[in-house]
Amino acid sequence: MTTQIDQYEVMYSANTFAPRIWLKNSGNFIGQLIFEPDGQALPQDSNVNGQVNLFYHLEDFDNCIDLLRNEEPMYLLFNGTSPGNENGILTAAEQVGESFRKVA
């Protein structure tokens, strides 16, 4: 399943909840990126009530937020929980030589 991400929200809680980036399509939540402490074993990605939960280490937060801020379009990829299935966020194909957009 590949779904376009057209909005996101960041939740960086002050308590015991892990930092999250909520992903939306057409105003509807489609999933979240959940950032667990570095070095900790990550839970298995899941799909709960039609919303995808993808788990990353906290050290990946900057990479993920940079992609969401700087790339367009962005997609949520979820191929399930079976071993060998790849899940994540991805960009659309770009032309060779396309200029890099630098954010001030």
Q: What pLDDT does residue 93 have?
A: 72
Reported as half-sphere exposure (CB side, CA atoms, 13 A), residue 51 has a value of 13
- Quick check: 87 and 54 in contact, CB under 8 A? yes
- Quick check: 53 and 45 in contact, CB under 8 A? yes
Give the pLDDT mean for 24-53: 96
* pLDDT surpasses 50 at 92: yes
The residue ranges of every structural domain in the chain are 2-91
Q: What is the mean pLDDT of the chain?
A: 90
Contacts of 70 (CB under 8 A, 6+ apart): 101, 103
